[in-house]
Amino acid sequence: MYQKKYRGFALSLDVAVVIVCICLLKLVGLIGFQSYVKSAKINRAKADTAALALAVAQYAYDMENVHPDHTPAQCLPTDLVDLEKQYDGKGPWLSGNTITKSGTSYLDPWGNVYIYTHGSGNDGRFVVYSKGPKGNGTVSIIGVASSEGIGATGGFLK
C-alpha cells in the first residue's frame, strides 16, 4: 500500500513534465511563426506599392495623351481613388485588385493608409508608400526610405 502512493506521485510528475515540454515547444514554434508572418506582410506591402505605382504611371501616360499640353504634375492623379475612375474613355487603372480598401483609402497589411504624394510644377516624380510595421516609416519622392518605410517611386516626364 505504501508503494502505490509513490507510484501515483511519480506518474503525476511525469505528466506535468510532459505538459511543460509541450508548452515550451508550442512557444518556440509560435515565435518562429511570427517572423514568417512579419516577412509576409512586408512582402505584401512591397507588392501593393509596386501595383499602385504602376497604376499611377499608366494613369499619367494616358492623361498625357488626353491632355498633351498639361505639365507632368497635372497628369498625375490627385489621389489613389482616381485610379478607379474613367476619364475620356481611359481607365480604370486599378480594378479587380486584391489591395485591402476601407472607404476611399487603400490599407497596408498593418491597417495603415498607403501614402501617395507627387511633385509639383514640372516635377513628375511620385511615391506610394506604407509606413511599415511600426507605423512611423516614410519613403521620400526620390526613393529614400526612413525607419521601416516600404514603397515604390516612379516618374512621369513630359
pTM for this predicted structure:
0.79
Q: Which residues of the chain have pLDDT under 50?
A: 1
The residue assigned the cell 516577412 is 39
pLDDT value of position 4 = 52
Cis ω before 109 (30° cut-off from 0): no
pLDDT value of position 97 = 81
| Alpha-carbon gap, residue 88 to 98, rounded angstroms | 26
pLDDT value of position 131 = 96
Tens digit of pLDDT for each residue in 133-154?
A: 999 999 998 889 998 999 988 8
pLDDT value of position 10 = 61
